[in-house]
């Protein structure tokens, strides 16, 4: 029988997952919250041009 080869991608994924787990544990041990761990929410400010443009796009169609 031939030797069974180990999947290098699987080994790499497992090692990366373990590193992420250690970083996550360290984050929570230092008083971090899940929101802080995930990062800031990507929301638009009501005063920005982007928000106004989005609202105009979704508004009623004006007839001229």
Contact 41, 50 (CB under 8 A): no
Token pair of 32 as six digits: 């971090």
Distance in angstroms (rounded) separating the CA atoms of residues 9 and 33: 31
Q: Quick one: average pLDDT of 1-18?
A: 77
Is residue 48 over pLDDT 70?
yes
pLDDT band at 56 (very low <50, low <70, confident <90, very high): confident
Please state, in angstroms and as integers, the Cα–Cα distance from residue 10 to each residue in 6, 37, 53, 58, following that order.
8, 25, 45, 45
Query: In this predicted model, what pLDDT tens digit does every residue of 16-25 receive, in sequence order?
Result: 999 999 999 9
Query: In this predicted model, what pLDDT tens digit does every residue of 11-45 receive, in sequence order?
Result: 888 899 999 999 999 999 999 988 888 887 666 56
């Amino acid at each position: 029988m031939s030797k069974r080869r180990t999947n290098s991608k699987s080994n790499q994924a497992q090692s990366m997952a373990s590193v992420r787990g250690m970083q996550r544990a360290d984050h929570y041990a230092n008083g971090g919250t899940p929101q802080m761990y995930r990062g800031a929410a990507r929301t638009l400010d009501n005063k920005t041009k982007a928000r106004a443009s989005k609202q105009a796009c979704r508004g009623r169609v004006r007839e001229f």
